[in-house]
Chain A
């Protein structure tokens, strides 16, 4: 579905590349979580896919087609994008926000309303109760549900999620993580999610890619990363969950 080959990206004025020779591939319907601390290049890798950042070198293919050969707006409109601070439009109602990707694609108002309402129901918000409200009038968790609904509006095959639950309190975060899992099963999207939260990665990921200083240290299932850490960084990171997994298995015999 998505193939990234040896991509390098450097911000102007920075000596070290933010992303330094990363290669990975994501299968259709798979959820890959990029895990790492801030500044490790995981968000940059994500933004390379919808070309919010252009690479210095390397190639990204989506469904086998080089992404640089697709017109940029068409590319972005075919990919759902969710960010930590949500970025809802303050001058539009919740319903208008969800319909925004359809509006720029010149979809009629009636169809927009219909689909926005269905999407709000899908993310657990009653369209009659929330549709006419403004973003400032709902809670942070509800805002991020709107953000997810908006990203799904054009029915994209790919969903990019940049720390989607990072700004939420623990209880809400867990609730939304569970709902995302349910949604994933229902919709079969290919998801690339970026987080610095190890447990979020363990909960949501089919596979985890660990990033450190612009490089992809290791990529694999949680089990593989725990059992066979390829680098000291990965070993240290997964030490605690690995021990807990051992304890758990021993207890069950």
Chain B
């Protein structure tokens, strides 16, 4: 457990990042969507309040939107709006509409009838009645809808990190990937503080605008606190930060959201900045395969590291003929990327991150298991712990059964994070591992060789936009130099260093490159 002072230390050392995340979270990912939702929902509520059919249709529609899981919503919007802040703002606006719409309708429909009759009787026009009577009296209910929407927005906005929209979710995401609870606490903590502060502000407005006499004492101290909060935020906005100017010769490299990618990202950045005069902006943990690929196509990023098997199956949607060699797969992917995407696939770093069958080393030595075929006879007595994905994918368990004729006594679904310790502690006998996962070292597991060449090759290769490469030919040269510099053992070791939390990906990459230079030159 870390101490409070360590946490403060982390906050101050990441002050600039945190400031940017906080400002994005508040202004872009909360205030803009909530304001947009207010502008949309209140007039809609006014229009539909006296039209029952339209009203229930609209409430129904926005309820359906509300039930779409946040990540699914972001995924839906991805092909339409790409990655970044725009789709996040659209999704958050959609989520913010329902509570405001519902409360505005409720507020307007529950107005005292005698007040409306009096207003009509004395000759208020429809608009005067709405502006002077209905909205003001319904305002506390409307504001409580805005409060709900705001708190929802602050929460869901932490997921916007998955489509590269920034905000405090960046810290939470990185904390999750790196198992760094300090980053998690910083991200989640500041998001919670933000939600509390905004809720307090809106509650104060609600009190100030409620009909009838106000408690002036309460309002005075509440507005005092608000003034202090606004002043603090103002100070944060104008405080000196590093200049945001982006040098002309800057390229952007993204990484997917797991440890190995974060390390490779740092390796690329440090290597390129050393070998060329290019500046590299790193978008760590941008998102999954499709998000990185979309970003590459749209030119939002210039390069990232992809795995050949993933490129073939997930992006090119090609079925791999069994037993295809790594070279064949690479050639196919290289050709297709050049033709379809105007992107160049560079030769592999020298390792694959593929599915692998792993068992505890001591058991393997005892039983003399070297390859997957060796399991054949004992499999019917074994418990297997596989991820849900592995159990379903054709290049997972179903294919494995056919290729090796394996029949396990029992197969259980396990989360990737639980699998490794489960096999180490003997709760299951065999698991599907990722071949370069650091936990293979940590738990002293052995990977059984795929003697029948069943698992598709998943060679890690840098992919870059041809356009960028034409502009900066030195980039291609630098990327080519990284060919066959990291073998699977090395990658596993680096991943394990990051897993243990002793070193940051940047430090690991730095140490690795130092070692590399010692050997090469």
Interface residues of B in 125-157 (CB under 8 A from A): 125, 128, 132-133, 136-137
Residue from the set B114, B123, B128, B136 with the largest chain A CB neighbour count within 10 Å: B123
Instruction: Give chain A residues whose Cβ lies under 8 Å from the Cβ of B122.
Output: 76-77, 81, 100-101, 104, 150-151
Q: In whole angstroms, how far apart are the Cα atoms of A104 and B119 in the complex?
A: 10
Quick check: B212 and A104 within 8 Å, CB to CB?
no
Question: Chain B residues with Cβ under 8 A from A77's Cβ?
Answer: 122-123
Q: Collect the chain B residues with CB atoms within 8 Å of residue A85's CB.
A: 114
Q: A134 contacts B124, CB within 8 Å?
A: no
The interface of chain B, by Cβ under 8 A from chain A, is: 112, 114-125, 128, 132-133, 136-137, 211-213
Q: Does A89 belong to the interface (CB within 8 Å)?
A: yes
CA distance A134 to B120 in the complex (A): 21
Determine the chain B residues whose CB is within 8 A of the CB of A52 once the complex forms. Answer: 117, 120-121
Using Cβ atoms and an 8 Å threshold, which residues of chain A touch B137? 89-91
Residue A66 lies at the interface, judged by CB distance under 8 Å to chain B: no
Q: A75 vs B123: C-alpha distance in the bound complex, in angstroms? A: 8
Please give, as numbers and ranges, the residues of chain B lying within 8 Å of A137 by CB-CB distance: 212-213
A133: which B residues are within 8 A, CB to CB? 213
Question: What are 27 A-B contacts defined by CB distance under 8 Å?
Answer: A50-B121, A73-B123, A73-B124, A75-B123, A77-B122, A81-B118, A81-B121, A83-B114, A83-B117, A83-B121, A86-B118, A87-B115, A87-B116, A87-B117, A88-B118, A89-B115, A89-B119, A89-B133, A89-B137, A90-B137, A100-B122, A101-B122, A104-B124, A134-B211, A134-B213, A147-B118, A151-B122
User: In the assembled complex, which residues on chain B have CB atoms less than 8 Å from the CB atom of A243?
Assistant: none
Beta-carbon contact of B125 and A73 below 8 Å: yes
**Docked pose: A86 CA to B122 CA in angstroms:** 12
CA distance A137 to B211 in the complex (A): 12
A174 to chain B, nearest CB (A): 23
Question: In whole Å, how far is A133's beta carbon from the nearest beta carbon of chain B?
Answer: 8
Q: Is the CB of A101 within 8 A of B123?
A: yes
Which parts of A70-118 form the interface with B (CB within 8 Å)?
72-77, 81, 83, 85-91, 100-101, 103-104
Q: Nearest residue in A to B111 (C-beta to C-beta)?
A: A90
Chain B, residue nearest A76 (CB): B123
Chain B residues contacting A147 (CB-CB under 8 Å) are 118
The answer to the question of A38 belonging to the interface, with a C-beta cut-off of 8 Å to chain B, is: no
Q: Given A73-B123, A77-B123, A90 and B212 touching (CB < 8 A)?
A: yes
- In the complex, the answer to whether B115 meets A90 with C-beta atoms within 8 Å is yes
- The B interface is mostly helix, strand or loop, or mixed, namely helix
Q: Which residues of B contact A89 (CB under 8 A)?
A: 115, 118-119, 133, 137
Q: Which of these, A72, A83, A91, contacts B211 with CB under 8 Å?
A: A91
Does residue A136 face the partner (Cβ distance < 8 Å to B)? yes
Chain B residue, CB-CB nearest to A137 = B213
Report whether A76 and B120 are in contact in the complex, using a CB–CB cutoff of 8 Å. Answer: yes
User: How far in angstroms is the closest Cβ of chain B from A250?
Assistant: 46
> Is A103's CB under 8 angstroms from B120's CB?
no
Distance of A96 from chain B, by nearest CB (Å): 10
Rounded to whole angstroms, the CA-CA distance of A89 and B128 in the bound complex is 13
- Knowing that A73-B124, A104-B128, A147-B118 touch, tell me 17 more A-B residue pairs with CB under 8 angstroms: A52-B121, A73-B123, A76-B121, A87-B112, A87-B118, A87-B119, A89-B115, A89-B118, A89-B119, A91-B136, A100-B122, A101-B123, A133-B213, A134-B212, A136-B212, A137-B212, A160-B121
Please indicate the chain B residues that have their CB under 8 angstroms from the CB of A76 in the complex. Answer: 120-123
Complex contacts, A150 vs chain B, CB 8 Å = 118, 122
A104 touches B123 (CB 8 A): yes
> What is the distance, in angstroms, from A104's C-beta to the closest C-beta of chain B?
5
8 nearest A-B residue pairs (beta carbon): A87-B118, A91-B211, A76-B123, A81-B121, A77-B123, A87-B114, A85-B114, A90-B211
Shortest CB–CB separation between residue B447 and chain A, in angstroms? 72
Residues of B within 8 A of A91 (CB): 136-137, 211-212
Give the chain B neighbours of A160 by CB distance below 8 A: 121
> What distance in Å separates the Cβ of A167 from its nearest Cβ neighbour in chain B?
10
CA distance A81 to B124 in the complex (A): 12
> Which partner residue on chain B sits nearest A103 by CB separation?
B132
Q: Which residues of A contact B132 (CB under 8 A)?
A: 103-104
Cα A85 to Cα B118 in complex, Å, equals: 9
Q: Which residues of A contact B212 (CB under 8 A)?
A: 90-91, 134, 136-137
Q: What residues of chain B lie closer than 8 Å to A75, measured between beta carbons?
A: 123
Residues of A within 8 A of B213 (CB): 133-134, 137
Contact across chains for A74 and B114 when beta carbons are under 8 A apart? no
B125 neighbours in A (Cβ, 8 Å) = 73, 104
Q: Report the separation of the CA atoms of residues A115 and B213 in the bound assembly, to the nearest whole angstrom.
A: 23
Nearest A residue (CB) for B128? A104
A101 to B128 alpha-carbon distance, docked (Å): 11
Measured CB to CB, the closest approach of chain B to A60, in angstroms, equals 16
Assembled-state Cα–Cα distance A151/B132 (Å): 18
Do B112 and A90 touch (CB < 8 A)? yes
Query: In the complex the two chains form, what is the Cα distance from A150 to B413 in whole Å?
Result: 74
Of A83, A90, A134, A160, the most chain B CB neighbours within 10 A belong to A90
Determine the chain A residues whose CB is within 8 A of the CB of B114 once the complex forms: 83, 85-87
CB atoms of A74 and B123 under 8 A apart: yes
The smallest beta-carbon distance between B380 and chain A, in angstroms, is 76
Collect the chain A residues with CB atoms within 8 Å of residue B115's CB: 87-90
**Interface-centre pick from B122, B133, B211 (highest chain A CB count, 10 A):** B122
The complex places the Cα of A187 from the Cα of B296 at a distance, in Å, of: 82
Q: How far is the CA of A147 from the CA of B117 in the complex (A)?
A: 13
**Residue of B116, B120, B128, B132 with most partner-chain A CB within 10 A:** B120
Identify which of residues 46-79 in chain A touch chain B, using a CB-to-CB cut-off of 8 Å: 50, 52, 72-77
